[in-house]
Structure 1
Amino acid sequence: MAQRVTFSTATGRELSEARFTAYHDLYAPVADVSRLGDDFSVAVEAHRLGEILAFDRKLKSVSHARSPKRVARNGFDHFTVQLALRGSFWVTTVHGEREVEPGALALIDMTQWMRTDAPDAEIITLSVPREHFDATGEARRLHGAVLPPGRAVLLKDFILSCLRNEALLGPADSPRIERVAIDLLGLALSDRSSIEQAQPETSADIVCRSRAKAFIDAHLGVTPDEVARAVGRSRSSLYRAFEPVGGIAEFIQTRRLARLRRVLGRVDDTRKISEMIYDCGFSNNSHGTRLFKAAFGITPGDYRSARLDGLAVNLDRGDASTIFADWWASLR
């Protein structure tokens, strides 16, 4: 199938502290790791399925956290889908702390801060490119959401079957596996009544939103009225089409912030930050700075510094760490 990498603190005769350090370094590109107790142990089996990374993790007394500075330094722009197979774990975001029971599924936006605590659990984690979530228009609103047990049972069974039967699959199968996994994830997310109440949509609204998104991405400084004229819809119908994704104004702001975040992380872009903010559609520097900090917990200037510092870090800490780092880098 895809490339497979394993890591376990149970191998070798290292002291407990050395084992923790090895795992800490393994996850350094992604999160800050800390122990919750002296009985710390982990075992990780990772697979690459096309653009999706799949991890089967057995975790005991361990916490993973992504602070605003960590988010900035990594520059990741994808989602993780975390499904509890055995035991419970806890996810903490700006929306509070939620327990993820066996069979339940948690959604984590890697552009926002979070913390997970696993006293003793086995978790299937999928790292998924953002576009598979942005297609719904609700990506940022899904951060920290927990789907109840049973909603992702088909996705769970499919991923587990792939991992357990990898010897029967070849590299050419990975794109197919990826497509099926994305479809099953979409099925799990299709009924979001436990996350939010959504109004039924018409096909006309979906088409309108799709056209408007393309126009907004090409003209980030637009107003809602300008978008309505560009797609040939009335102001009221445009607003109705964007109600399921938080409103047209919220969507425009989210796209501006996403673009600004990307350009701030480019090492070859030496423009002033104020110029970047303006080019991303914000009316002035202070307004863009304030919204960016509210969204990501860090100023554009600090984000840029942290991101550039992070690029200079040498991640070559052994075979598993190098492969993991390369895989995660592909999701930026």
Structure 2
Amino acid sequence: MSLPLLSFSSKALRPAVGFDAYHALYATGADVTRTDGAFHAEVRAYRFNRMLVFERRLAGVGHDRDVARVRRDGFDHLTLHLLLSGTLVAGAEGEERRLRPGEILVIDTSAPQRNRCDDTHTITVAVARDQIGSLIPDPRAFHGTVLSQRVAGVIADLMISFTHRVEALTPDTSDQFGPVLGMLLAAALKGTPPGAEAVAALGQPDGGRRRKVEAFIEAHLSDHGLDADAIAGGVGISRTVLYRCFAADGGVARFIQLRRLERVRNVLRRRGGAARCGPVRG
């Protein structure tokens, strides 16, 4: 029999007190903010071997994990967020989208993310990376991917059934859930483009992000360590957003290479011009 790791409800608390208590509850994992509308939170969480299961009913609240927090807490697992009802805008930082009930959002906790909850009812399963690493070689590539009901219906059914029966499960039974979920997820992701269906619902448009990234690259073009991770961290966006901004250029690495070649050509042109003008000045 599994007992809740935690159980929280703001029902009996004044709104301000309830939010402060909820904020403290999540302080180690996310920056929690109030959003429009009345605040309400109910949370049940269960811990298993290499896995956490949450059922949450939330309203008037948002959660942010920026680059600094991701680096600080070192979380390293994959989470599946199943929206049962309500309005949830969530995803990789900078490319959040509005989910439809029945859809599942795939999140890698080693990358920035954010969400906004309005009267939402969700089930979340967080699985340790080593539980699914052999099935999904590069989970981070799918950070922010949204799986439709058609693709993820079986996974959703499994998550709902597991949550409803969680307190009656034996450790032996629950230990098999992670690997089974991993196999189903791997099958659902097969043929699904990384970041599929991710569209910007919050934050600045891609053009604004692109200009910020280009300015950062220009300022650090001579740095040997300039790569996707350095740019994402320096600008404060996810790698998924970064790749999308430079997809038409063949990727951010290709763009950096071309900018460096262009800088070298400019230097050579200037030196050539100086050489040609030398005799005239002499």
In structure 2, the partner of 1:174 is 174
Contact in 1 for aligned 2:90/2:114 (Cα 8 Å): yes
Give the C-alpha shift of residue 65 in structure 1: 0.4
Q: How does 1:23-42 map to 2 (within 5 A)?
A: 23-42=22-41
Q: Distance in 1 between matches of 2:134 and 2:162?
A: 26
Match runs of 1:300-315 below 5 Å: none
Are the aligned partners of 1:81 and 1:105 in contact in 2 as well (CA < 8 Å)?
A: yes
Structure 1 position 54 matched with structure 2 position 49:
no
Structure 1 residues without counterparts, runs of 5 or longer: 197-284, 300-332
Counterparts of 2:49 and 2:68 in 1: how far apart (Å)? 29
- Classify 1:22/1:181 alpha carbon distance in 2 versus 1 (closer, same or farther; 3 Å): same
- The number of residue pairs the alignment matches comes to 209
Q: Separation in 1 of the partners of 2:104 and 2:234?
A: 25
Q: What is the RMSD of the two structures over their aligned residues, measured on CA atoms?
A: 2.6
Partner of 1:313: none
Equivalent residue runs for 1:1-332 within 5 Å = 1-4=1-4, 5-10=6-11, 12=12, 14-94=13-93, 96-131=95-130, 132-133=132-133, 135-192=135-192, 286-288=223-225, 291-297=228-234
What is the alpha-carbon distance in structure 2 between the residues aligned to residue 29 and residue 290 of structure 1? Answer: 29
CA apart distance, 1:298: 7.9
1:69 partner SS: helix
The aligned counterpart of 1:319 is none
CA deviations over 1:51-71 (Å, ceiling 9, x no partner):
111111111111000111111
Q: In the aligned structure 2, how far is the partner of 1:70 from the partner of 1:168?
A: 35
Q: What displacement does 1:41 show?
A: 0.4
Stretches of structure 2 lacking an aligned partner (at least 5 in a row): 197-221, 237-282
Name the amino acid aligned to 1:106.
L
Displacement after TM superposition at 1:18 (Å): 1.1
Larger-gyration structure (1/2) = 2
TM-score by length of 1: 0.57
CA distance in 1, matches of 2:187, 2:26: 30
CA positional deviation for 1:290: 5.5
Runs of 4 or more off by more than 4 Å in structure 1? 193-196
What TM-score do you get using the length of structure 2 for normalisation?
0.66
Aligned to 1:222: none
Letter in 2 for 1:154: V
Report sequence identity in percent: 33
- Asked if structure 1 preserves the Cα contact closer than 8 Å seen for 2:77 and 2:127, the reply is yes
